[in-house]
């Protein structure tokens, strides 16, 4: 590990950070994983930092994970969700954020339905911004925790084969995962119904497969995504039942493979749709490890970005 | 990196290490309910060397509880330093409740590392007592009321100089050097 510092002061997306940055975050996260498994799970690193969690879109897992990460670093936090705020009264994003910043907040963790909202904000404000999901664009901390969990299970990801199954078109997890895995040297394939695979996705250097059985045969790791019913403004699939029949991963499929395979899912799972229950709970699945690692990885991101913050100032 | 001036030659380094090991045996006997915690990274190297020596000097000692402590997350200055800190693993497999802890580091300078280490130790239990062992004590630059109980050598150097304990892979080649302000710093 040569670099000890991130190359950027924001985490807007995996696209904007380097492979060195990713390695630094994953290595630092290993140390935080040790911290959160202690009887006293807390360190004082960010005790003088205030973080605002701005969630303009619903979230359970990511918000709790960020909150825990912040608390375990001893940061002060304020939470904000759009449903109970002045956004409803017509305030612009920049005004909302500037109002919060004038109360002396040092970092912002934001989820927003508009792709690029964080990028826009980074041009106007000075504090560190962490993207906790922007529309169908990126979800960088999810990709980082996925990479961390994969590394934990299979070691170095260079040359490993990862397939992302499901709704690639609407998935920010898929896009961030593709950028992250490519930067770490893995081979990536996407698999799903043709209507849910974006056109020209092969330009990102990924392979496309429409048959999930072939995809599973090819891969070492399958990252299975949720069908995002809330983003389906038109019908992309005839029915959930048909999707489950053709793309749902079942125990019987894994049994015929005769190899070790790792199953991942960013949650929340639609049991019986993209994953059958016996697969989600099987020894192949590292879904709960992903959730645990999420806190450690987010601690690493916050810690490293906070380090960047005052260095830039002096 | 420019060459530093040697202030402790390899032969004397070995003697100092032996003296420290003997002092620990003298004070802690068979190391019952005593553990050694090395501060990453050089404090760990020093601890490991001491433990090897202690075991070879006093055959009745079969094992000594040994932990590695990284204090990066406890530093109050991590965001104000010119260079970022490298984070190393912490590995303390036992509870410190009621134990006598020997905290080990290579150089005692401002005292801030030890302050951070003391607050880090609290997260692993409540020791009955904490002692501090250092290879080098730079006594004129302390910023906090912290002193070592066991000291290898004392160095009175000008403020900006940098003192470095150099562990060599070849046995009998360890030494301590002093570097001028504009080079050698980590």
Q: What integer pLDDT is reported at residue B84 of this predicted model?
A: 74
Q: What percent of chain B has pLDDT over 90?
A: 58
b (16+ CB within 10 A) / e for B109-119: bebbbbbbbbe
Is B90 within 8 Å of A44 when comparing Cβ atoms? no
Average predicted confidence (pLDDT) for chain B: 89
Q: Is the pLDDT of residue B27 over 60?
A: yes
Task: State whether residue A113 sits within 8 Å of chain B by CB.
Answer: no
Under 8 Å CB pairs connecting chains A and B tally to 57
Closest CA to A227 of A244, A213, A212: A244
pLDDT at A78: 93
Question: Over the stretch A96-119, which tens digit does the pLDDT of each residue have?
Answer: 899 989 999 999 999 999 999 999
Name the band, by pLDDT with cuts 50, 70 and 90, for residue B1: low
pLDDT reading at A182 higher than 80: yes
B79 → closest Cβ in A39, A73, A309 = A309
**Cβ neighbours around A18 below 10 Å, total:** 14
- Whether the CB of A74 is below 8 Å from some CB of chain B: the reply is no
pLDDT per residue as tens digits for the range B78-111: 777 767 778 889 999 899 999 999 999 999 999 9
pLDDT tens for each residue of A9-43: 999 999 999 999 999 999 999 999 999 998 889 99
User: How many CB atoms are closer than 10 A to CB A282?
Assistant: 14
The alpha-carbon gap from B163 to the nearest alpha carbon of chain A, in Å, equals 22
Query: Model pTM?
Result: 0.89
Is the domain A140-286 a CATH 3.40.50.1370 member? yes
Tell if the CB–CB gap between A34 and B90 is shorter than 8 Å.
yes
Mean pLDDT of A200-220: 95
Q: What is the pLDDT averaged over residues A291-309?
A: 93
Distance CA A90, CA A118 (A): 19
pLDDT tens-digit map of A57-96: 888 899 999 999 999 999 999 998 877 666 677 788 899 8
Does the annotation count A265 as an active-site position?
Answer: no
Percent of chain A with pLDDT over 90: 78
B79 and A43 within 8 Å at the Cβ level: the answer is no
3-state SS string for A251-271:
HHHHHCCCCCCEEECCCCCCE
Query: What are the structural domains, with CATH classification, of chain B?
Result: 5-76+84-179 (3.40.50.2020)
Region of residue A272 (phi > 0: left; psi between -120 and 50: alpha; otherwise: beta): left
Q: Residue A40 corresponds to which tokens in the numbers above?
A: 């006293």
Q: What pLDDT shows up at residue A313? A: 46
Answer whether A1 touches B (CB < 8 Å).
yes
Residues 6+ apart with CB under 8 A from A202: A208
What mean pLDDT is predicted for residues B39-58?
A: 93
Whole-angstrom CA distances from B99 to A43, A195, B31, B129 are 22, 64, 10, 7
Residues from chain B contacting residue A40 (CB–CB below 8 Å): 122-124
Nearest to A168 by CA among A307, A285, A57, A274: A274
A14-138+292-313 placed in CATH 3.40.50.1370: yes
pLDDT at A307: 85
CA distance A68 to A303: 13
| 3-state helix/strand/coil string of chain A | CCCCCCCCCCECCHHHCCHHHHHHHHHHHHHHHHHHCCCCCCCCCCCCCEEEEEECCCCCHHHHHHHHHHHHCCCEEEEEEHHHCHHHHCCCHHHHHHHHHCCCCCEEEEEECCCCHHHHHHCCCCCEEEEEEECCCECHHHHHHHHHHHHHHHCCCCCCEEEEECCCCCCHHHHHHHHHHHHCCCEEEEECCHHHCCCCHHHHCCEEECCHHHHHHHCCEEEECCCCHHHCCCCCCCCHHHHHHHHCECHHHHHCCCCCCEEECCCCCCECCCECHHHHCCCCECHHHHHHHHHHHHHHHHHHHHHHHHHHHC
Answer yes or no: A60 catalytic: no
Point out the residue among B79, B85, B87 whose CB comes nearest to the CB of A310: B79
Would the CATH topology of A14-138+292-313 be identical to that of A140-286? yes
Please report the pLDDT score of residue A304 as a whole number.
93
Query: What pLDDT does A314 receive?
Result: 37
Q: Is B91 on the interface with A (CB under 8 A)?
A: yes
How would residue A252 be classed by pLDDT, with cut points 50, 70 and 90? very high
Provide, as residue numbers in chain A, all residues whose Cβ is less than 8 Å from the Cβ of B124. 38-40
**Where exactly are the structural domains of chain A?**
14-138+292-313, 140-286
User: Confidence band (pLDDT; 50, 70, 90) for A310?
Assistant: low
Closest partner residue to B123 (CB to CB) among A38, A310, A311 is: A38
Chain A residues 147-176 with a CB less than 8 Å from chain B: none
Nearest to A43 among B74, B80, B89 (CB): B74
- pLDDT band for position A231 (50/70/90)? low
Tell me which residue in A31, A73, A310 faces B70 most closely, judged by beta carbons.
A31
Catalytic option among A33, A111, A112, A298:
A111
How many whole angstroms from its chain centre is CA B146?
Answer: 14
B77 touches chain A (CB under 8 A): no
The whole-number pLDDT of residue B77 equals: 78
* Catalytic annotation present for A50: no
> Chain B residues with CB inside 8 Å of A28's CB?
87
Q: What integer pLDDT is reported at residue A235 of this predicted model?
A: 82
Q: Please tell me which residue, B31 or B180, carries the higher pLDDT value.
A: B31
Per-residue pLDDT, averaged over A278-297, amounts to 95
Q: Which of A23, A61, A153, A251 is catalytic?
A: A61
């Amino acid at each position: 590990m040569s670099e000890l510092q991130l190359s950027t002061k924001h985490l807007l997306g995996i696209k904007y950070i380097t492979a060195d940055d990713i390695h630094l975050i994953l290595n630092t996260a290993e140390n935080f994983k040790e911290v959160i498994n202690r009887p006293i799970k807390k360190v004082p690193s960010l005790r003088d930092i205030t973080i605002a969690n701005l969630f303009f879109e619903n979230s359970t897992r990511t918000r709790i994970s960020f909150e825990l990460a912040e608390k375990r670093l001893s940061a002060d936090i304020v939470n904000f969700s759009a449903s109970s705020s002045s956004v409803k009264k017509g305030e612009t994003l920049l005004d909302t954020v500037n109002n919060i910043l004038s109360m002396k907040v040092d970092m912002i963790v934001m989820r927003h339905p508009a792709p690029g909202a964080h990028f826009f904000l980074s041009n106007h404000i000075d504090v560190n911004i962490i993207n906790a999901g922007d529309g169908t664009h990126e979800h960088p901390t999810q990709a980082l925790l996925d990479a961390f969990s994969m590394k934990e299970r299979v070691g170095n990801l260079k040359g490993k084969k990862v397939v992302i199954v499901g709704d690639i078109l609407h998935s920010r997890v898929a896009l961030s995962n593709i950028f992250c895995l490519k930067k770490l040297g893995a081979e990536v394939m996407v698999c799903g119904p043709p209507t849910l695979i974006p056109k020209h996705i092969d330009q990102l250097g990924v392979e496309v497969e429409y048959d999930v059985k072939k995809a599973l045969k090819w891969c070492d790791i399958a990252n299975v995504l949720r069908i995002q019913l809330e983003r389906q403004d038109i019908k992309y699939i005839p029915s959930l039942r048909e999707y489950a029949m053709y793309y749902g991963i079942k125990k019987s499929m894994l049994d015929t493979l005769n190899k070790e395979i790792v199953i991942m899912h960013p949650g929340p799972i639609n049991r019986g749709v993209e994953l059958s229950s016996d697969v989600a709970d099987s020894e192949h699945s590292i879904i709960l490890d992903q959730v645990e690692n999420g806190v450690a990885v987010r601690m690493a991101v916050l810690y490293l970005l906070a380090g960047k913050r005052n260095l830039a100032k002096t | 990196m420019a060459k530093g001036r040697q202030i402790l030659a390899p032969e004397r380094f070995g003697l100092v290490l032996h003296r420290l090991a003997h002092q620990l045996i003298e004070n802690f006997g068979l190391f019952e309910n005593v553990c050694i915690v090395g501060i990453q990274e050089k404090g760990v190297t020093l601890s490991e060397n001491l433990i090897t020596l202690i075991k070879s000097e006093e055959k009745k000692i079969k094992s000594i509880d040994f932990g590695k402590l990284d204090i990066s997350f406890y530093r109050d200055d991590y965001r104000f330093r010119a260079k970022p800190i490298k984070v190393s693993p912490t590995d303390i497999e036992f509870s410190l409740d009621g134990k006598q802890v020997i905290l080990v580091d290579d150089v005692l300078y401002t005292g801030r590392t030890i302050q951070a280490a003391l607050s880090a130790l609290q997260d692993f239990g409540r020791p009955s007592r904490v002692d501090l062992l250092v290879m080098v004590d730079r006594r004129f630059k302390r910023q906090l009321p912290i002193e070592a109980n066991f000291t290898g050598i004392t160095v009175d150097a000008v403020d900006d100089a940098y003192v470095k304990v150099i562990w060599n892979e070849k046995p009998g080649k360890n030494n301590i050097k002093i570097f001028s302000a504009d080079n050698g710093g980590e």
